[in-house]
Amino acid sequence: KGLLAHPLLRRTADPLAVEDYMTWGYVPDHRSILKGVEKLPPGHFWLLEHDREPPPPRQWWDVSFAHRAKGRTADLSAELLHRLREGVTSRMVADVPLGAFLSGGVDSSSVVALMAEASRDKVRSCSIGFDVAAVDETGYARQIAERFGTDHRERIVSPDDIADLDRIAGIFDEPFADASALPTLRVCELARESVKVALSGDGADEALAGYRRQVFHHRESQARAILPQGLRAPLFGTLGRLWPKADWAPQALRAKTTFLSLAESDAQGYARALAILDAPARARLYGADMLRERGDYRAEDPLIALMADAPARSGLDAAQYADLKFWLPGDILTKVDRTSMAVGLEAREPLLDHRLVGFAASLPERQRVRGRQGKWLMKRSMERYLPQEILYRPKQGFVTPLAQWFRGPLAATARSIAANDRLIDSGWFDRNALATLAEQHISGQSDHGRVLWQLVMLEKSLSGMGLRG
C-alpha cells in the first residue's frame, strides 16, 4: 500500500508474476505482481549504500539436510519432544492475553497440549468449521479442547462469507489464491475477541514431512533411483498421456499425475505435485498476448533450480527444502501473517523455532516417513499426549469447500469470470477457455474449484490495486 501511494510508481502488472500466480496461487520471491518491483527473500538482508550500485541480497540463515543425526529412536524422540516444548514455551512469554488456533490436527493439537502442560491457567483456543460436513473438523478440535480443558470457541464459515472477498484481496496487497485465507481470517477475528497473541501449528509439515505429496514424492524418488531415465520417460510418459484425468474417480485410480511425474526428474516431479496448473493447462487458458509475453519462462524453473542446489542427501530432503524455502514463506506464512495483522492479532509459530527446524532436518528419512505415515517421529513423540485417532487419522488440512460452493451458491460468480473485462482485455486469458472451464466445473464434469478461485482472486486483487496488464 505504501508503494501504491508513490506518484512515480507505474501501476503495471508483471505478466511473469501472473504466470507464477497461475502456477502456485501466489507470487514467490523475488518477483512481485508489480512490474519492476522485487521482494526480499526470507532469511536475506540487503545492504544499500548511497551512490553505489545495489549488490545482490545476502543470505544470513538457511536450513541444511546435509547431515544426519544418529541415535536410537527413543533418544531421537526425546530430543524432538524437548525441541517441541522449547519452541512452544519460548513463545508463550507475553504480557497480553495469549491463546492458540486449534484445528484438531496433529500440529495444532500438539501445540495446545504442550501449552496446557506449561500453563497454570486455562489455554484459550479457537476453531473454524464449515457447513459442509466432509471438510468440517470442529468435532476433532472440540475433542482436544475437552481433553486439555481449554476455554474453547468456534465459528462456522459458509458461502455467505464470500461477501468479504474484496476485503481479503486488499489484505494481501498482491494476488493470493489460498482459499483457506478466508477461514484463517475468520479464526483470527474469533481469536482477537479474547486474546492479542495466538500460537499456530504451522511449519511442522514442512520441517518433518507431514504432507501427503512429500510421502508420495519419497516413494517416487526411490522408484526413480531404481529405473533409469531412459526407461522411465517413454514408459510412464506414455501412460500419463493416455490415462484419463478422472477427478471423479477414487484416489487409487487417479494415477495420471503419478505417471507423468515418474517420467520426469525428482525436481520436475515435485514441481508438478506443487502446481495448481501444469504448463499445458496454463497455456490452454492463456491468450495470445500472454503466451508471447511469457516467452520461454515457466514458473516451475526457479523451483527446479532450488531443488537442484539444495543442501540435501535425498529426494525427500530436497522436497522438504523446497517447501521450507518456497511454499512456506510464499503461501502459509503470508496467509497467517496478513490475516492476523489485519485484525490486530500477533500470530506466533512455535513449530518453526530454528532449533527445532534444524534438528528436524537432521533426522534420518525413516524417522520422518514410514510407510504412508509422514511426521512419523513427531506422532510417536506426542503419543503420551494425544489419542490415536488424532495422531493417525488421514490428514485433511484446512480445506475450503470450493468445489461445492462454485456448483451451488457461487455458480454465477464462476460464470462471470469469462465475462470479466479486466482479465480478458489484458490479453492474458482466452474468453472461450475461461467459459469452458466454468461450465465443466458447474456441470460436475471436472473439478476446477481451485482455478476458479485463483481467477476470482486475481481479478479482485488487480481491481483493488488499480493495476493494468
Q: Which residues contact 94 (CB under 8 A, 6 or more apart)?
A: 196, 197
- Among 245-259, 260-274, 454-468, the range of highest mean pLDDT: 454-468
* Dihedral sign, Cα of residue 322, residue 323, residue 324, residue 325: positive
Query: 261 near 400, Cβ under 8 Å?
Result: no
Q: In angstroms, rounded to a whole number, what is the distance separating the alpha carbons of residues 197 and 235?
A: 53
Query: 67 near 313, Cβ under 8 Å?
Result: no
Give the 3-state secondary structure of the chain: CCCCCCCCCCCEECHHHHHHHHHHCCCCCCECCECCCECCCCCEECCCCCCCCCCCCEECCCCCCCCCCCCCHHHHHHHHHHHHHHHHHHCCCCCCCEEEECCCCHHHHHHHHHHHHHCCCCCEEEEEEECCHHHCCHHHHHHHHHHCCCEEEEEEECHHHHHHHHHHHHHHCCCCCCCCHHHHHHHHHHHHCCCCEEECCCCHHHHHCCCHHHHHHHHHHHHHHHCCHHHHHHHHHHHHHHCCCCCCCCHHHCCHHHHHHHCCCHHHHHHHHHCCCCHHHHHHHECHHHHHHHCCCCCHHHHHHHHHCCCCCCHHHHHHHHHHHHHHHHHHHHHHHHHHHHCCCEEECHHHCHHHHHHHHHCCHHHHCECCECCHHHHHHCCCCCCHHHHCCCCCCCCCCHHHHHHCCCHHHHHHHHHCHHHHHCCCECHHHHHHHHHHHHCCCCCCHHHHHHHHHHHHHHHHHCCEC
Q: In angstroms, rounded to a whole number, what is the distance separating the alpha carbons of residues 267 and 287?
A: 28
Q: Report the pLDDT value the prediction gives residue 401, as an integer from 0 to 100.
A: 85
- Among 40-54, 105-119, 396-410, the range of highest mean pLDDT: 105-119
pLDDT tens digits, 276-303: 999 999 999 999 999 999 999 999 999 9
Given a cut of 50, whether residue 86 has pLDDT beyond it is yes
Banded pLDDT at 466 (limits 50, 70, 90): confident
- Among 48-57, 79-88, 151-160, the range of highest mean pLDDT: 79-88
Q: Report the pLDDT value the prediction gives residue 246, as an integer from 0 to 100.
A: 54
Q: Which residue from 278, 279, 261 is spatially nearest to 218, judged by alpha carbons?
A: 261
- For cell 548511497, the residue is 50
Q: Which residue from 184, 189, 168 is spatially nearest to 464, judged by alpha carbons?
A: 168
Q: How many CA atoms lie within 13 A of 274 on its CB side?
A: 32
Domain boundary assignment for the chain: 73-209+321-391
Q: How far is CA 106 from CA 9, 85, 244, 268, 367, in A?
A: 45, 15, 34, 30, 16
pLDDT tens digits, 91-135: 999 999 999 999 999 999 999 999 999 999 999 999 999 887 778
Q: Report the pLDDT value the prediction gives residue 3, as an integer from 0 to 100.
A: 86
* Pairing of β 197-199 and β 124-130: unpaired
Evaluate if pTM is beyond 0.85.
yes
The fourth-level CATH superfamily of domain 73-209+321-391 is HUPs (3.40.50.620)
Q: Which residue from 59, 140, 65 is spatially nearest to 359, judged by alpha carbons?
A: 65
pLDDT tens digits, 61-77: 999 999 999 999 999 99
| pLDDT: which is higher, 467 or 108 | 108
Q: Which residues contact 123 (CB under 8 A, 6 or more apart)?
A: 99, 100, 112, 115, 116, 148, 149, 150, 151
Q: In angstroms, rounded to a whole number, what is the distance separating the alpha carbons of residues 256 and 270?
A: 14
| pLDDT: which is higher, 291 or 398 | 291
